[in-house]
Amino acid sequence: MHRVKKVEYEDDDLYSGEEEEADAEYTAEDRDNFATLTPVVRAELEEARLHASDREIEEALWHYYWDVSKSVAYLKNTRTPRPAQRTEKKEQPKSKFDQAVQKSAEKADWFRGIPWSDLPPAQLGLIVPCEPVTHRPMMLGGSSKLAKLAEERRKKAAAAQSAQATPDKALASLERLGRPREANENEAPLSRPDTKKYPLRKRKESSPPPREPSPTPQTPPAEVQPSLRTSPTAFGRVLSTNPAAVRINNAAALDEMLDPFADPSPDDAVLRITKAKNTSNELANKTKDLSLEQHAPSQANVKSKGLDVLKIWTEEKPKRKPSAAFVVIGHVDHGKSTLMGRLLLDTGAVSQRDIDRYKKQATELGKASFALAWVMDTGSEERERGVTVDIAQFHFSTDHVDFTILDAPGHRDFIPNMIAGASMADLAVLVIDANHLESGIKGQTGEHIVLAKACGVSRIVVAVNKLDATNPPWSEAVLQDVVASITPLLTASGYKPENVRFVPCSGLNGQNVVKAMSKKGDASWVAEGYRTLLEELESCVAPHDTEEMVRAPLRMQIADVFRGSVTNPLSIAGRITSGHVQTGDTVLLQPSNERAMVRGIEVGGNGQEWAVAGQICTLHLTEVDQQHLRAGDCVCDAKNPTPAAKNFVVQLTALDSILPQAVDVHVGRLHAAGSITALISTIDDAGEVERKKPRVVKAGQKATARLVLDAGAALEAGTRLIIRANGSTIAVGEIIRAGG
């Protein structure tokens, strides 16, 4: 008789080398997420008295994009004991033969003494070793995902190898290293090489969830209906007090936003999502359209009153409350949206009733801890994933200052939206999870610091968040660690020490955000040594509208294009960077070179006759076709416009090696494809030429270079820009010369 010991294998014990290979594809951030979320999932499973291995939990988290509730539902689904298919057989009386066999087995040891090892070699071949019948363990309910992954990777690698071997590719690589020809202003811009593809998140791409024949995961809860009170993207928020905001950009289908990470480039994905998101709340906004409450004038055209805006602005200035827009930046999940939700709740800008409603809805989605974040994260995609995608905007006022919050996404895939937010801000709030300092520094904490400075934000309040969750809670040593680690990064990026403030706080519990901490207890050091976040914000506000700025020609970058109301079918929003505008003005739109008339202006949701530099406003336009308006375009003084140009000389600080290469150029909301066609020289800190015509500019070096955009853009000398390639930032800098 062949006895087989029955061993209960854990799946973990049985995985093959493929899985190690697959692990190599996880980024540090992914591993971080696993470390944080796996125990949460395990705890929920244990509550339901279910067990799953780490690997199974990680697989589920990966499939459901870190969504704990879906992962738990999925795992529960695979583990819920199925109802017994067959009823237990009644014990049958044993046959005589069976009884005899049993007795023999008990009494006699049939094989004792049989000399198996002494068998003659000729007979050995007759003994056929029999493998025990065991099932190969399968991951996540039936199919080996990792086997599939490995197989797909092998195929991809083979395909990539054969593609690289083609002469076209080889020539393209050589050309990139060679010195490209100079492009003339009137020539067609260099076409972007076909070969340029952004790296995708390989692992995700190669295993789109969910797979067959996995058990059907719990269907996600129905999409949360957008709140009628809010509108979907940043500048819908500007209109939140205008109940007639309807997006007109319905070019992108809603299903485009369902997988924002799919393809082909992170930056392109962001742009598509942003577009699609505009459509998602259309129904809600159409409902708003039925409202009679309108701020904008109803007549088709408005005659300019010919106001002396500069004079009025100067006279009113001493009476006006200062205003400031701050962008909230930091690594994903460090608590930015939650902190802003708390700030709005405790300043009375959002009611406790609203928060309770969000709490209820969030709990139903299994995301109770995100209730405060829902104040800022209004998109259904954002709420389901618990990840901010687009800039969210909210106004609130204190006795001393009118604030505009620009809540930026922390995820690396949405960096372009973070850039758009930072380019409209006067100051930044950098949120740092005190418990995950390292991952943040390696991730977007570091990158956001650099980008915010590159966008012109020179004052920063560092909110050291989640101190309620340190070990021990409210550890002063943890705060000091954060200060010691972040200060050098800020200094290296050009922040002056007097423009940097640190605030220890907990957004979730509301400690030291608006309400000061108690002077008693373990956290008394906070009240003794630090101001609240709100106090620091108020103290950081500096005038952003000087007479020189207001007197200059009008310049405003379009951040959003939308339907303002039934009577305002075409509206744009953005921040006026220089000059002023009043109703009845004719403005020039660049690069389309089309004129439009301003028939209404809103600032903070209130109708106004005029607006000036430094204000984020909405302009209702007429006498222009929508096709001439795109996010990133420039609204100019019709008599003194910015010319559109394709060729620029730029001064850059390299964050990565730069070659003559295809790049993505970001200027606020403008996202333009182009190429660095020549490296002119490397320069030192004083701007003196170090080396002419370098072949490469290394990370940390400064250089001047020629930049050619694929299409003309209204960019002037002095404009700050950020250069990205393959989804990461490679340089920051500014335009020295436009055109020519």
Binding site for ligand GTP (CB under 6 A): 330, 332-338, 369-370, 373, 386-388, 409-411, 465-466, 468-469, 506-508
Residue 363 Cβ vs ligand GTP, minimum distance, rounded to whole Å:
12
As a whole number of angstroms, the distance between CA 372 and CA 344 comes to 9
Residue nearest to ligand GTP (CB): 410
Q: Dihedral (C-alpha) 112, 115, 117, 118: value to the nearest 10 degrees?
A: 170
Instruction: Report residue 351 as tokens.
Output: 């009611």
As a whole number of angstroms, the distance between CA 37 and CA 369 comes to 14
Residue 487 Cβ vs ligand GTP, minimum distance, rounded to whole Å:
21
Residue 724 Cβ vs ligand GTP, minimum distance, rounded to whole Å:
19
As a whole number of angstroms, the distance between CA 523 and CA 525 comes to 5
Residue 291 or 518 with smaller CB distance to ligand GTP? 518
Residue 405 Cβ vs ligand GTP, minimum distance, rounded to whole Å:
12
Residues 6+ apart with CB under 8 A from 364: 221
- Size of the chain, expressed as the number of residues it contains: 740
Residue 282 or 382 with smaller CB distance to ligand GTP? 382
Residue 367 or 580 with smaller CB distance to ligand GTP? 367
Residue 324 Cβ vs ligand GTP, minimum distance, rounded to whole Å:
21
As a whole number of angstroms, the distance between CA 541 and CA 425 comes to 11
As a whole number of angstroms, the distance between CA 518 and CA 528 comes to 9
Residue 334 or 501 with smaller CB distance to ligand GTP? 334
Q: Are strands 402-407 and 323-329 parallel, antiparallel or unpaired?
A: parallel
Residue 388 Cβ vs ligand GTP, minimum distance, rounded to whole Å:
3
Residue 409 or 600 with smaller CB distance to ligand GTP? 409
Residue 91 Cβ vs ligand GTP, minimum distance, rounded to whole Å:
54
Instruction: Tell me how many degrees the CA angle 583-588-593 measures, rounded to the nearest 5.
Output: 155
Is residue 492 within 8 Å of 498, Cβ to Cβ? no
Residue 524 Cβ vs ligand GTP, minimum distance, rounded to whole Å:
19
Coil, strand, or helix at residue 425? coil
Residue 464 or 663 with smaller CB distance to ligand GTP? 464
Is residue 709 within 8 Å of 733, Cβ to Cβ? no
Range list of H helices, 28-111: 28-47, 54-63, 68-79, 96-107
Residue 64 or 648 with smaller CB distance to ligand GTP? 64
Please give the sequence-ordered ranges of beta strands (E in DSSP) within 209-359, or none if there are none.
Answer: 323-329
Instruction: Tell me how many degrees the CA angle 356-361-363 measures, rounded to the nearest 5.
Output: 90
Residue 307 or 469 with smaller CB distance to ligand GTP? 469
Is residue 580 within 8 Å of 550, Cβ to Cβ? yes
Residue 483 Cβ vs ligand GTP, minimum distance, rounded to whole Å:
18
Residue 338 or 719 with smaller CB distance to ligand GTP? 338
Q: How far is CA 321 from CA 10, 285, 399, 401, in A?
A: 65, 31, 9, 6
